[in-house]
A and B are shown apart, each in its own frame.
Chain A
Amino acid sequence: MDLLNTNPDNLSTLLSWLTFLPLIGMCVVLLLPASNLRAIKITAGVFTFIPLVLATQMYFGTFDKTVSGYQMVQHFEWIKALGINYSVGVDGLSMPLLWLTTILFFIAVPASETVPRLSKAYFVLLLLLELGVLGVFVSLDFFLFYVYWEIMLLPMYFLIGIWGGPQREYAAIKFFLYTLAGSVLMLIAVIALRLDAGTFSIPELVAIGKAGGFTGPALLGMSFTTWVFWFLFVAFAIKIPAFPFHTWLPDAHVQAPTPISVILAGILLKLGGYGLLRGCFPIVPDAFQDFAYVLGILGVIAIVYGAYVALGQSDFKKMVAYSSVSHMGFVLLGMAALTEWGMNGAALQMFTHGISSAACFLVVGVVYDRAHHRDLNGFGGLAQPMPRYWAMATIAFFASLGLPGMAGFVSEALTMVGAFQSQVGWTDEAIASGWMWGPFQWLTLIATIGIVMTAAYILWALQRVFLGTLNEKYADFKDISAREVFSLAPLLVLCIVLGIFPWYILDWMEVSISDLMQILTFAG
C-alpha cells in the first residue's frame, strides 16, 4: 500500500525548499561580516520572508484541502542500513502550523531590534531554529522528526542563555534538561516501534497501530503499547507543557528576549500538541483511549491551575507565560475528549493561541522596552500617553481571553463543546441511552472556572497597566512605533479575521481530523 501517495502529481520538492531556505539564509549570514549588522538583519528578514511567501502560496494555492492523506510528498532513502528515509509531506494538521511558523519567524526579525547585545550569532541561531521547527512539521519519518526535534534545542538554549534576562543561564539549562529528558523517552519509544514494526515511517506506523499490530515486549510492568504511549506522551507533554511538566516554561519565558518568547509561545509549544496528534494518538490509539481521562484531567488542571497562578503574578510576562500553560490545557482537553469537535477545537486552539500569545508577548515587550521593568503594579494609566498601544494591547488580550468575535473564542468554545460531548468513561448502557454524566462532563464544568479566572487576570492586568492614575514617570512615553506596529498588526488582524471566519483554518484541517477520528475504536 502506498501510504505516502507517491504518485508523480503529488511529489514536490517545495517542502524541502521551505525547510532548507532558513539554512541557506544561515550560511549567507555566516559569510557576512559581523560588523555589518544592518546587512545581517536584512538577510535574515529576506530569508524568513521567502518561506512566508512560499508557505502562504502553499496554504492558499498548492495545498488541496479536500484531499485526504499527505501532499507535496518527497521521499528517498537516507540511511539504507537502518531503513531511515527522508520523507516529508503535509496534511491538514501540519499545513496551518507550517504557515504559522513562517509568519512568526518573519515577525521575530523586526521584533529583535531592541534585543540587547544583538549580534550575528543571534540571527544564525534564529534561522537554525526555524529549520528545526519547519522540519518537525513536515517530517513523515519518525527518525527525521526526532532529528529536527533535537536540532531546535541548541539554538533555543543559546537564544535564551545569551540574550535573555538576569536569570538566563538557569532558565536555558532548565529548558534544555526538561526537553532532553522528554526526547530520550521519545527516542526509546521510536526505536521500540522500529524494532517491532520494522519501519520509521509515520504513515506505516499509523496503519499498523490502527490494526493493533504491535507485539513488542513489556517494560517496567507495562504492556508494549502502554509504555510506548506514556514515553511519547511525556515527551510531548513536556513541550506543551502539560501539568506537572510545565515548570520550565515560566522561567524560559520570563528570561527569554521578546522575539524568542514570541516563538516559544507561538510555535514551540504547538510542537507538543502537534506531536500528540501526529506521533502519539494515531500510532497507539488504544492506549491513548485508555488513558484519555488522564490527559483530560491534566488538561483541566493546566487550565484552572495556570489561570489561578497567572492571577497571582505581578510580573507582566510571567502572567502571560502562565496564561500559555492555561490555554494549552485546552489543547489537551480537546484531544482527550476524542470527539470531532474536541479535536477540531484542539487543533484550532494551537493556531489561535499561536497568534494571540505571540501578540501578547509582543505587547509586553513594547512596554518593557520603555520602562525596563514588567511589574504590573508599577504601571498605571498608560492609556493616556500611548492610546494606540492601548488599543492594540486590548485586542491582543481580548483575543487571548476568548472574547466572542475573536480567534480564541471559537477554538475554546469548540473544545468545550467537544469535551462536553465526550463519551470517554461512559458505560455501554449510557452510550445506548445517549445521555450521561461522565468524567469529561465534570471536567468541562471545572474548566469553566478557568475561563472565568482567565477573564479576571486579563482584565485586571489591563486595568493595572492602562487605566487608573498615570504614573508620572511614564508620562512622556512614546506611543507604539511603526516597527512595533509592523510586528504586531498582522497578528491582531489574524486574531479578528479568524474570530469571524474560523473556517479559514478549520476547513483546511477538516479532512485530516476526520481521518484521525476514523482511528477511534470505540462507539460514538
Chain B
Amino acid sequence: MFALQDLHLHGLSLLSPELTLVATALVILMMDLIWKERDSWRLGAIGIVGLGAAALQLIGAHGTQDTAFALVAIDNFGGFFKLFTCASTVVCIAFVMLDRRERRHRIGEYYFLLVSAAIGIFFMVSTYNLLLLVLGLELASLASYSLAGFHKGEKRSAEASMKYVVFGGLSAGVMVFGISLLYAATGTLDLRVMSGALAVDPIGEGVARSLAIALEQSPGMIALAMILILGGFSYKISAAPFHFWAPDVYEGSPTPVTTFLAVASKAGGFGALMRFFGVLFVAPDVGELVAAYRHEIGMVLALVAALTMTLGNLAALRQTSIKRMLAYSSVAHAGYVLVGIAAMTQTGMEASMFYLAAYYFMNLGAFGFLLYFSGVTGRETLESLRGMGPKAPMITVPMVIFLVSLTGIPPMVGFTGKLQLLYAAMSPAEGMQLGWLAVCLGLNSVISLYYYMRVVRTLFLEESDAPKPAPQLPMAVFLVVMAFLTVWYGLFFSPLLSWAKSSMDLLT
C-alpha cells in the first residue's frame, strides 16, 4: 500500500509541469467568475505566469529519464516540445492581450482554452502509448475547435470552426482506425513494446508482439495501419493531402488562434509523429525486416514532404490576403520539416527539431506583424500594406527579416534550419537516396521567395498616401526582439543546435 502511494507521488511529481498548467487553467476560469471583467489583462497575466512556471519546471527537469504511471514518458524529447508549446502559448496569450478586438469576447474562456490546448499537446508529445496520444490530440483539438470559432458573431470564424471540426473528426477517426489495426496486429498500444525495446507491456495484459513479428505475419495490415496513422498526423501538421482545412481555418480564426494552430499545435503534431516513426523505425537494432521497411516509410514521408511543400508554395503564390498566404506558407514549412523526418536518421530528426525552433522565431514574428497591421487597418489584404514600409520601420523592417528568414536566406535562422534539413536529406538512412528531395527543397525556396518578396515589395517598393499607422510599443519591442534573435541565431546557432541534439534522446 505504501509502495503504491509512493509510486503515485513520484508520478505526480514528474507531471508537475502538466499539473501547473491544469491549475493555471482552473485559476483563470475561477478568477474570471470572481473578477467579472470583460477586458481583463490580469487573466492573461495569470496564464503567462502559469506557463512560465511550467517552462521553468521543464528546464529544471532537463535530463530526467522516467515514466509516470507507465504512460507518460518524461524525457528531453518531450521536454523540447513542451517548452516549445509553453513559449508559443505565452506569445499567443500576449497577442490576445495586445489585440483590442480580441478582448471584446469572453476573455477568461479564451485564455482557459489556450492553456487547455497546451495541456493536450503536453500529453500528445510525451507518451509512448497510442491511446494517451489520441487522448492528448483530442484534448488539444477540442480546445482548438472552440478557439477557431471564438468570434461567434462572425461568419468566417464560425465557418472555420465548423470546417475544423469536420476535418478534425474525420482524420481522428482515420487515425484511431489505423491504431486499432496496429493493436490488432501487435496486441499492444505501447510503441516501445512494438519496437522491441520493452519485453513486457507495462499496462497491457494480452500477448504482445513486436512490430517485426507482426510485419512477418500480416504485412498488409501494418501497411494500411501506417498509412492511416500517417493520415491522422498529416492532418495535425497540415501536410498534403490532408492540408485542405488549413488555409480556411487559419484565415477564419482570430489571429492569435491562427498563431497557436500554426506554431504550437503544428509542432505538437510533429512531436507525436517523430516519436511514433522514430521509435518504430529509426531507432537502432529494430531488426532486419523493420529496417527494410524503414525505406518504404521514408519514401512515403519524402513524397508527402515534396507534395506538401510544393502545393503549399504554389498555392501561396496566388494569395492576396496575407493571412491566407501565411497559412499556405505554414503548409509549405510543414513539408520542409518533414524532410528531416523522411531521412529516417537521428540527425534528420534533430534537423527537423532545429527547423521547428527556427520556425518559432520567424513565424511568430510574421504573425505578430499581421496582428498589428490588421489591428491598424482593419484588413488583412496585401493591398492594405501598400507603402507602409517607411512609415513604420520598427514594425516593417523586422517583417522583412522574418520573410527573408522564411525564404531561407542567410544570415537568418531560417537558413541555418534549411541547411540542416538539406544535410539530412543528403545523408539519409543507409540505402536511401533523397538527393532529389534536397533539390526539391531548394527549388521550393526559390518559389517561396516570390510571394514573400511580394509583401516586401508592397511595403517598400510601392507608395501610397495612407496615414502613418498608430504605433504600438509592446508589439514593436516584440518584433524587434524576434528579428534580432532571428539574425543572432542565424549567425551563432550553436545553442539551438545543441538544444536540439540534447533533446533527441528518443532513440537511445
Instruction: Say yes or no: is B114 at the interface (Cβ < 8 Å to chain A).
Output: no
A151 CB contacts on chain B under 8 angstroms:
410-411
From the candidates A121, A154, A161, A220, name the one contacting B409 in the complex (CB within 8 A).
A154
Inter-subunit contact B410/A146 (CB<8 Å): yes
Instruction: Say yes or no: is B64 at the interface (Cβ < 8 Å to chain A).
Output: no
Interface of chain B residues 420 through 468 with chain A (CB within 8 A): 422-423, 426-427, 433, 435-436, 438-439, 442-443, 445-446, 449-450, 453, 456-457, 460-462
Interface of chain A residues 131 through 164 with chain B (CB within 8 A): 146-147, 150-151, 153-154, 157-158, 161-162
Instruction: Say yes or no: is A270 at the interface (Cβ < 8 Å to chain B).
Output: no
Inter-subunit contact A177/B460 (CB<8 Å): no
A153 CB contacts on chain B under 8 angstroms:
409
Interface-located stretch among B115-123, B145-153, B200-208, B491-499: B491-499
Inter-subunit contact B423/A154 (CB<8 Å): no
Inter-subunit contact A192/B426 (CB<8 Å): yes
Interface-located stretch among A181-189, A387-395, A472-480: A181-189
In the bound assembly, the distance between CA atoms of A153 and B435 in angstroms comes to: 26
Inter-subunit contact B492/A150 (CB<8 Å): no
A185 CB contacts on chain B under 8 angstroms:
439, 442
From the candidates A154, A162, A187, A219, name the one contacting B419 in the complex (CB within 8 A).
A187
Instruction: Say yes or no: is A331 at the interface (Cβ < 8 Å to chain B).
Output: no
B497 CB contacts on chain A under 8 angstroms:
79, 81-82
A184 CB contacts on chain B under 8 angstroms:
442-443, 445-446
Instruction: Say yes or no: is A459 at the interface (Cβ < 8 Å to chain B).
Output: no
With A79-B492, A173-B457, A195-B427 known as contacts, the answer to whether A188 contacts B410 (CB < 8 A) is: no
Residue of B nearest to A172 (CB): B461
With A173-B453, A191-B422, A220-B435 known as contacts, the answer to whether A180 contacts B460 (CB < 8 A) is: no
Inter-subunit contact B457/A169 (CB<8 Å): yes
From the candidates B422, B460, B501, name the one contacting A188 in the complex (CB within 8 A).
B422
With A80-B494, A147-B411, A168-B461 known as contacts, the answer to whether A188 contacts B453 (CB < 8 A) is: no
Give min CB distance, B485 to chain A, whole Å: 17
Find the residue from A188, A192, A195, A219 having the highest chain B CB count within 10 A.
A188
With A150-B410, A180-B449, A181-B446 known as contacts, the answer to whether A191 contacts B498 (CB < 8 A) is: no
Residue of A nearest to B443 (CB): A184
Residue of A nearest to B448 (CB): A180
Give min CB distance, B406 to chain A, whole Å: 13
Inter-subunit contact B449/A176 (CB<8 Å): yes
Give min CB distance, B138 to chain A, whole Å: 38
With A147-B410, A151-B411, A180-B409 known as contacts, the answer to whether A162 contacts B461 (CB < 8 A) is: yes
B435 CB contacts on chain A under 8 angstroms:
192, 217, 219-220
In the bound assembly, the distance between CA atoms of A454 and B81 in angstroms comes to: 63
Give min CB distance, B7 to chain A, whole Å: 40
Inter-subunit contact B436/A219 (CB<8 Å): yes
Give min CB distance, A495 to chain B, whole Å: 35
B419 CB contacts on chain A under 8 angstroms:
187, 191
B306 CB contacts on chain A under 8 angstroms:
none
Inter-subunit contact A217/B446 (CB<8 Å): no
In the bound assembly, the distance between CA atoms of A150 and B409 in angstroms comes to: 6
Residue of B nearest to A231 (CB): B439
A181 CB contacts on chain B under 8 angstroms:
443, 446
A220 CB contacts on chain B under 8 angstroms:
435-436, 439
Give min CB distance, B338 to chain A, whole Å: 18
In the bound assembly, the distance between CA atoms of A153 and B456 in angstroms comes to: 14
Inter-subunit contact B426/A191 (CB<8 Å): yes
In the bound assembly, the distance between CA atoms of A217 and B409 in angstroms comes to: 26
Inter-subunit contact B494/A180 (CB<8 Å): no
With A154-B409, A191-B423, A192-B426 known as contacts, the answer to whether A177 contacts B494 (CB < 8 A) is: no
Inter-subunit contact A79/B426 (CB<8 Å): no
In the bound assembly, the distance between CA atoms of A169 and B409 in angstroms comes to: 20
Per-residue 0/1 for A286-304: is the Cβ within 8 Å of any B Cβ (1 yes, 0 no)?
Answer: 0000000000000000000
B501 CB contacts on chain A under 8 angstroms:
81
A187 CB contacts on chain B under 8 angstroms:
419, 422, 442
Inter-subunit contact A180/B411 (CB<8 Å): no
From the candidates B415, B453, B457, B493, name the one contacting A150 in the complex (CB within 8 A).
B415
In the bound assembly, the distance between CA atoms of A157 and B389 in angstroms comes to: 15
Residue of B nearest to A227 (CB): B435
B457 CB contacts on chain A under 8 angstroms:
161, 169, 172-173
In the bound assembly, the distance between CA atoms of A169 and B450 in angstroms comes to: 12
Residue of B nearest to A185 (CB): B442
Residue of A nearest to B401 (CB): A154
Find the residue from A158, A172, A191 having the highest chain B CB count within 10 A.
A191
In the bound assembly, the distance between CA atoms of A154 and B438 in angstroms comes to: 24
In the bound assembly, the distance between CA atoms of A188 and B427 in angstroms comes to: 12
Inter-subunit contact B461/A188 (CB<8 Å): no
Residue of B nearest to A121 (CB): B390
In the bound assembly, the distance between CA atoms of A145 and B254 in angstroms comes to: 43
Instruction: Say yes or no: is B325 at the interface (Cβ < 8 Å to chain A).
Output: no
Per-residue 0/1 for A209-234: is the Cβ within 8 Å of any B Cβ (1 yes, 0 no)?
Answer: 00000000101100000000000000
A176 CB contacts on chain B under 8 angstroms:
449, 453
From the candidates A168, A194, A217, name the one contacting B433 in the complex (CB within 8 A).
A217
Instruction: Say yes or no: is B404 at the interface (Cβ < 8 Å to chain A).
Output: yes
B453 CB contacts on chain A under 8 angstroms:
157, 173, 176
In the bound assembly, the distance between CA atoms of A80 and B494 in angstroms comes to: 8
B436 CB contacts on chain A under 8 angstroms:
219-220
Give min CB distance, A238 to chain B, whole Å: 12
Point out residues on A near B: beta carbons under 8 Å.
79-82, 121, 146-147, 150-151, 153-154, 157-158, 161-162, 168-169, 172-173, 176-177, 180-181, 184-185, 187-188, 191-192, 194-195, 217, 219-220
Given A150-B410, A150-B411, 18 other A-B residues pairs in contact with their CB atoms under 8 A:
A81-B498, A121-B390, A147-B411, A150-B415, A154-B409, A161-B460, A168-B461, A169-B457, A173-B453, A180-B449, A181-B443, A181-B446, A188-B442, A191-B426, A191-B438, A195-B427, A217-B433, A220-B436
Could you pull out 23 A-B pairs where Cβ atoms are within 8 angstroms?
A79-B494, A81-B501, A146-B410, A147-B410, A150-B410, A153-B409, A154-B409, A161-B460, A161-B461, A169-B462, A172-B461, A173-B453, A173-B457, A176-B449, A176-B453, A177-B450, A180-B446, A188-B422, A188-B438, A191-B419, A191-B422, A192-B435, A195-B423
